[in-house]
């Protein structure tokens, strides 16, 4: 499925990321009532957050986007 594919892509691509970088995930949004991310990158967002990224911005509607940043190693 799409979420699984995007998680795998995030895991592979993040190996090449600079220590300071931004990631933008389109077609992904935060569902505040449920406290979860939904959409194509919903499985990748927790991976990024667990690996030093900070949530910078997200929308609460579909279609949406999420912006994450990492600013040090």
19: DSSP letter = S
Res. 73: pLDDT tops 70: no
Mean pLDDT of 56-62: 91
Mean pLDDT of 25-34: 93
Pairing relation of β-strands 54-58 and 65-70?
Answer: antiparallel
Res. 1: pLDDT tops 90: no
Res. 44: pLDDT tops 80: yes
Mean pLDDT of 24-38: 94
Mean pLDDT of 51-73: 92
Q: Is the peptide bond before 63 cis (omega within 30 degrees of 0)?
A: yes
């Amino acid at each position: 499925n799409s979420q699984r594919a995007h998680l795998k892509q995030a895991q592979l691509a993040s190996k090449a990321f600079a220590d300071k970088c931004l990631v933008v995930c389109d077609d992904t949004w935060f569902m505040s009532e449920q406290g979860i991310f939904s959409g194509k990158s919903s499985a990748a967002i927790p991976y990024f957050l667990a690996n030093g990224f900070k949530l910078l911005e997200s929308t609460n509607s579909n279609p949406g986007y999420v912006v994450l940043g990492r600013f040090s190693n």
